[in-house]
Structure 1
Amino acid sequence: MQDDLAAHLARRARRLALDARNVEDADPETLRAFAREVLADLAALGLLRGEEAVGCWAGPRPGGH
């Protein structure tokens, strides 16, 4: 799953035209948008506190609902 998350984040960075060479010159709103997505994905994995909504990186729900 970590490789999937890394690939997902890399795709998002490319779509926003972000990379390690241009981050200092990037638009602040673009950086905020990327940071929001990264934090939401990490929260969905349960690695950080965040929204309680289930995201694409969340694990399967326990049975018996």
Structure 2
Amino acid sequence: MLNQIAANVAHHPHERAVAEITAHLRSFWAPSMRADLVTYVDGGGSDLTPLAAAAAEQFRLREVKP
């Protein structure tokens, strides 16, 4: 699903696209889905496109407190 969201905003400059994706995750994904995404990214997130991976990593860094 994250790859599809990324594809929909890929026409924007990279930083704007990443910001839009992360905003979408915070606004529309249930907490359980966001937690699953963080777990997936922590495990390598191998099926993510480069844009989706960048957004997921930024999201993970902001969501997970050390």
When the two structures are superposed, what TM-score results if normalisation uses the length of structure 1?
A: 0.33
TM-score after normalising by structure 2: 0.33
Structure whose CA Rg is larger: 1
